[in-house]
Structure 1
Amino acid sequence: MSEKVTGGGVNGGGGRGRSIDERYAQWKYLVPILYDWFANHNLLWPSLSCRWGPQLEQATYKNRQRLYLSEQTDGSVPNTLVIANCEIVKPRVAAAEHISQFNEEARSPYVKKFKTIIHPGEVNRIRELPQNNNIVATHTDSPDVLIWDVESQPNRHAVLGATESRPDLILSGHQENAEFALDMCRSEPLVLSGGKDKSVVLWSIHDHISTLATQPGITKSVGSDDKPTESPVIQARGVFHGHEDTVEDVQFCPSSGQEFCSVGDDSCLILWDARTGSSPVVKVEKAHNADLHCVDWNPIDENLILTGSADNTIRLFDRRNLTTSGIGSPIHIFENHTAAVLCVQWSPDKSSVFGSSAEDGILNVWDHNKIGESSGPASKAAQGLLFRHSGHRDKVVDFHWNAHDPWTIVSVSNDDESTGGGGTLQIWRMIDLIYRPEQEVLTELDKFRSHILTCPSE
């Protein structure tokens, strides 16, 4: 089905030149056909990370949910961590004409800023704590990881010269800047980070006496009129060495706080186990043909690990096929992007489905169970491609599946290079005819045909 639902042709480049306008125009024309729901929100400043927070309210036709974003400014106003409230229209509710009526230069009525935290430096990465997703960790251009209780933090006005908000906790352990590699454990309050010092660092939030993870809001934060004081600092539980260059992404094993993996600019994929020491358990020396930017561990089938690279490909590995000698062949190499892959993420709902976003402005959704199903010249270049979201004009730097509404995705693009500034936030859900079982779809079509035939003509 992949060649039918691309929503725009394959174009090179990260959003420059006439081709991006043609692709965008074609995509916008197809929006009512390809999407069950779509919201476009213009950002004054780019956001390098987007994450869903807790669900706040359920109603008949839509739900309300937290959304975590950032504002990466030019210095004229402070960088911020943004907590927004988002309304998500439920499946099969939105009418096609409403889906298509959006102004790409305007802000969406579905996204409302709730709170602003003045962040010390730009926010490169946001991750929420699964045991309490009012607690988030952020990476900035420093060696430290910052922990925030977003409920207890006061709302701030981001004006030039404003005092920075004080983190509820600082995690110390890197020797050089740690900017992107960040993860939080599903099973216990552990934080994992990687940085330019080529190391992977592990912390436990429980090492802080306030037990922030289970008792939010008990540490006092700095308000606009408060005198800043030092945030509490905790040291690492473990530092792991094995990479030869910057660590770009890290990921916990979904069922374990002791097992994790990392990827870096040395083209390596490394598996670790904190119980066996600080050396790699398995090191795949040449997982890709270029720097690795991202990794994700399948939450349902823990044998499967995805990696994305500057070589424009996504590779699927089975950890049972990786050996301590560093040999590991991918199960499959997914090829459709025309620029570096920046983010890969498994669906929280379907073990075979994942997404990938890249500097080419495309977010692809794949199903590795569909490899080999399609035939024809178009399918050879994109085995397993389920859907192609072409709504961004520039590099799609981050996206996140919604665990409460598993086919709904939030994605952000940094539009600096194509528009001269700002970014685009999009929340979307592809039409379910694309991923429902084929027999189900055919049955629905038969019902529709029967209905049309039995309707009285005017």
Structure 2
Amino acid sequence: MAANVPAPGEEANHQAWKRMVPYLYDWFASHALPWPSLACRWGPVVEEGGARSRQRLYLTEQTDGSEPNRLVVVNVDVARPRTATADHLQGFTEHSKSLHVGRPLKTILHPGEVNRLRELPQHPHVVVTHTDSPLLFVWNLITQADRTGVKSTSAKQQSTADLVLEGHEADAEFALGASGAAPRVASGGKDTKVLVWDLEGHGTSLAAPASGGSGAAGVGTRLQPLQKLEGHSETVEDVCWRPGSTTEIASVGDDFSLLLWDLRKGGPPAQNVQRAHGKNDIHCVDWGPQQDHLLVTGAADGTVRVWDRRSTGSPAWAFTYHSHAVTGVEWSPHRKGVFASAGEDRLLCVWDLEAKTPVEADGPAATKRPRSATPHQLMFQHAGHRSPVVDFQWNPADSMALFSVSDEAGAGGGGTLQMYRISDLVYRPEDEVVAELEQWREYILTGQEAALARKPSAATLTAATTYPSGGGGGDADTDAAGTGAVGAA
């Protein structure tokens, strides 16, 4: 990881970003974590409200050894679109806890730090974890005993996994994926292998009460892999499943290769893209949900490449924008051709492959504009973190909403969790945005509240007109910041 040392001008850049928050985001929350969190995931929505929805979030805590490493379940309150006021968006305190994040609902004491976390889509309360071990651990977050408040590091206090996945011959730290079509798990490790387990038939084990107390690697039920795939020559860094498939997997690694596997055929990989990023380790891969012929990869040199598996001789798109290693890539589950990439350069970038070039958008007149080094497919850039982004995820229940997490909140260490929804002013058609802003032209130019009294009648406006005045819907549970009830417990 890159050192968390502020570069010259970094503070000025961060403050400039902070001033733009009300214009870039429809909703934003920043939450200081007590310990670094290398892996987080969205859970299911548990409550729908008028001004917000309440949703599970799975957090991890990487401690310094004085306390046990943890997997923590919390509730978070996600504001509805166009209900957060500008004052609320801009008024967050970076090194404080957010009222949007509730107290722990359940804590699991994990055997070792959690490097990677994935939920089973068929059973969103069941998660699989990677640590610095050849073993994978499967946890039923409903039936596991709650260890909130326990600070002992004794092995006897560790939670016991509901299922232990065996088969790796060396540590498997990061590469982890769960099929969306069946309870199957794929994993890669330092043994250069990709292993696949089928959890079907273990529903009884996962639904049973946790056995409690003798350590996760102790007495938990153990499962051998369904298949072992051999094709990489160095550490496997990431794996993912083809959306909707139980048999097709992609993997990348430190041998510079992108491999595509078909479990039905067995044997060597179905496709092998060698030196997919030149002589650079490939850190991450994801398979397109709406266009399953497309895959995206990110590498140690900061490059991001999109591949069409029908023709892998060269990338369909190649982006050189991140200044440091790419730590993660993920396609949007809601919008075709949209994906995000995160990096050690502290940035999360959102890309739109469907974006038109300036010439396509505006005709020959666009050629008079100065040429920009920024790719026109770069839709959005989140610059709220002060240290490398170690994990992120699109919210599967909320279009254009994400979280991202970095591993340091300041001099005291810890981590920073940021949750946000990109403002639709960023990605809507330009003529629509201009028309909406024109309605508020006087207020934008003068900042005078009196201009709001001269706004067009409600009959001529869409729901978008609530944005400048921060209309929260007048709900009785609205907090002082102008959003729905917060502080989920």
Q: TM-score over 0.5 for the alignment?
A: yes
Alignment of 1:194-209 (within 5 A): 194-208=188-202
Aligned residues of 1:400 and 1:411 also touching (Cα < 8 A):
yes
Task: Using the TM superposition, give the Cα deviation of residue 233 of structure 1 relative to its aligned residue in structure 2, in angstroms.
Answer: 0.2
After superposing the two structures, state which structure 1 stretch, 64-73 or 369-378, moved more: 369-378
Aligned residues of 2:45 and 2:56 also touching (Cα < 8 A):
yes
Query: 1:266/1:400 Cα in 2 relative to 1: closer, same or farther (>3 Å)?
Result: same
Distance 1:315 1:348 in 2: 19
Alignment of 1:188-267 (within 5 A): 188-208=182-202, 210-212=203-205, 216-222=206-212, 230-267=219-256
Match for residue 391 of structure 2 among 385, 388, 398: 398
2:463 aligned residue: none
Moved over 6 A (4+): 450-454
Query: TM-score, normalised on structure 1?
Result: 0.90
Task: Using the TM superposition, give the Cα deviation of residue 309 of structure 1 relative to its aligned residue in structure 2, in angstroms.
Answer: 0.4
Match for residue 301 of structure 2 among 293, 311, 316: 311
Letter in 2 for 1:174: H
Task: Using the TM superposition, give the Cα deviation of residue 228 of structure 1 relative to its aligned residue in structure 2, in angstroms.
Answer: 9.4
Q: Superposition RMSD on alpha carbons, in Å?
A: 2.3
Q: Structure 2: give runs of 5+ residues left out of the alignment.
A: 360-365, 444-450, 456-489
Aligned residues of 1:334 and 1:383 also touching (Cα < 8 A):
no
**SS of residue matched to 1:381:** coil
Alignment of 1:377-396 (within 5 A): 379-396=372-389
Count residues with an aligned counterpart.
Answer: 435
Letter in 2 for 1:423: G
1:372 aligned residue: 357
Task: Using the TM superposition, give the Cα deviation of residue 380 of structure 1 relative to its aligned residue in structure 2, in angstroms.
Answer: 2.8
Distance 1:97 1:172 in 2: 51
1:438 aligned residue: 430
Letter in 2 for 1:92: R
Task: Using the TM superposition, give the Cα deviation of residue 401 of structure 1 relative to its aligned residue in structure 2, in angstroms.
Answer: 0.5
1:101 aligned residue: 91
Task: Using the TM superposition, give the Cα deviation of residue 448 of structure 1 relative to its aligned residue in structure 2, in angstroms.
Answer: 4.2
Distance 1:91 1:217 in 2: 36
Does residue 414 in structure 1 map to residue 407 in structure 2? yes
Distance 1:14 1:309 in 2: 20
**SS of residue matched to 2:396:** coil
Q: Computing the radius of gyration over CA atoms, which structure comes out larger, 1 or 2?
A: 2
Task: Using the TM superposition, give the Cα deviation of residue 330 of structure 1 relative to its aligned residue in structure 2, in angstroms.
Answer: 0.4
Letter in 2 for 1:266: D
Does residue 121 in structure 1 map to residue 112 in structure 2? yes
Task: Using the TM superposition, give the Cα deviation of residue 445 of structure 1 relative to its aligned residue in structure 2, in angstroms.
Answer: 3.2
**SS of residue matched to 2:200:** helix
Partner deviation per Cα, 1:176-217 (whole Å, 9 max, x = no partner): 000000010000000000000000000011253x545xxx53
Match for residue 151 of structure 1 among 129, 139, 142: 142
* Percentage identity across paired residues of the two chains: 46
After superposing the two structures, state which structure 1 stretch, 429-438 or 349-358, moved more: 429-438
Aligned residues of 1:13 and 1:360 also touching (Cα < 8 A):
no
Alignment of 1:261-300 (within 5 A): 261-289=250-278, 290-300=280-290
Task: Using the TM superposition, give the Cα deviation of residue 223 of structure 1 relative to its aligned residue in structure 2, in angstroms.
Answer: 5.4
Distance 2:24 2:163 in 1: 44
Distance 1:430 1:317 in 2: 26
Task: Using the TM superposition, give the Cα deviation of residue 28 of structure 1 relative to its aligned residue in structure 2, in angstroms.
Answer: 1.1
Distance 1:39 1:217 in 2: 34
